[in-house]
Structure 1
Amino acid sequence: MSTSKNRGLFENIAPILNVKNFAASLEYYENVLGFERGEWVTEDLLIGYVERDGFGIYLSQEGQGHPGTWLWIGLKALDPLYEEFQTAGANIVMEPTNFHWAWEMRIQDPDGHVIRFAAEPREDLPFVA
């Protein structure tokens, strides 16, 4: 990629998810999905940032975003996260599945947002159409 043009370079991309109850969503993302709240986030705010491994998502109580958003999160390895989410009681709406594009599972949060967690496709399993 050429950076010779005088233009801004991306530093971060963070989706904003619309939530009905900020405190409840914050609890789910922290205690079930293993995210940590941003340092300025408290339950009395109606918007906040949660992050995991240096990447984050904004949660906005009935402000920004739309219900039912889908997100893609790329991973180095899916299986350990699948085990973690099973133990934590995450709402797994699709167990790990081997597609041509990824070894992928899907989680649904309390507001109906679907998060697609995916790693490289498995070579030891057939692909699902």
Structure 2
Amino acid sequence: MSAVNDMHRPLGIYIEGIQVILSVKDMNASRAFYRDVLGFTEADWGNDDFTSMNRENAGIYLCRGAQGSPGSWIWIGFGGDIFQLYETLKARGVTIRQPPVNHPWALELLVEDPDGHVLRFGTDPDTDRPFEA
């Protein structure tokens, strides 16, 4: 547990992490997308109703039917070349909602997973390029 001043812990708790729970229809299709397309690893304890897909310091829970809502949006900040990611995902047949767009807050790429959840991949904005409105 981090040594943080109580003033910065108004609820008296330390938040270890936050992970989204996505509702999925077909666990095998969702597993394959996050594992084979995006490079996540599944937790050993995962089953056909609930699992955790993890990569680096991040994770996404997948729940078959019982939790979450279809069409959720998730921000995924990353380091790397967003244009290379775009080309790779496009070549893998991923549904692209929006190719990379340079905004003042981030350079973003929007894709869909098999259940229609929108993944907003973002890097630092490119200050050498104009920003989109």
TM-score by length of structure 1 reads 0.88
| Residue 53 of structure 1, aligned match among 53, 56, 59 | 56
Match of residue 38 from structure 1: 43
Structure 1 residues 15-30: aligned runs within 5 Å: 15-30=20-35
Match of residue 107 from structure 1: 111
Looking at structure 1, the residues matched to 14 and 89 of structure 2 have their Cα atoms a distance apart, in angstroms, of 34
Structure 1 residues 1-129: aligned runs within 5 Å: 3-5=4-6, 7-42=12-47, 45-77=48-80, 78-129=82-133
Looking at structure 2, the residues matched to 52 and 85 of structure 1 have their Cα atoms a distance apart, in angstroms, of 17
Looking at structure 1, the residues matched to 126 and 18 of structure 2 have their Cα atoms a distance apart, in angstroms, of 28
| Contact map agreement 1:33 1:90 (CA 8 A) in 2 | no
Name stretches of at least 5 consecutive residues in structure 2 with no aligned partner.
Answer: none
Name stretches of at least 5 consecutive residues in structure 1 with no aligned partner.
Answer: none
* Matched pairs, number: 126
Describe the superposition over 1:9-30 as per-residue Cα deviations: whole angstroms up to 9, x where unpaired: 1111110000111111111111
Q: Which moved more, 1:29-38 or 1:72-81?
A: 72-81
Give the CA deviation at 1:52: 1.3
Looking at structure 2, the residues matched to 20 and 33 of structure 1 have their Cα atoms a distance apart, in angstroms, of 19
Looking at structure 1, the residues matched to 56 and 83 of structure 2 have their Cα atoms a distance apart, in angstroms, of 17
Q: Percent same amino acid among aligned pairs?
A: 40
Looking at structure 2, the residues matched to 16 and 121 of structure 1 have their Cα atoms a distance apart, in angstroms, of 28
| Contact map agreement 1:97 1:128 (CA 8 A) in 2 | yes
Give the CA deviation at 1:36: 1.2
TM-score by length of structure 2 reads 0.86
Q: Check 1:35–1:59 CA distance in 2 against 1; reply closer, same or farther (3 A cut).
A: same
For 1:17, what is the secondary structure of its paired residue? strand
Amino acid at match of 1:29: Y
Give the CA deviation at 1:79: 3.4
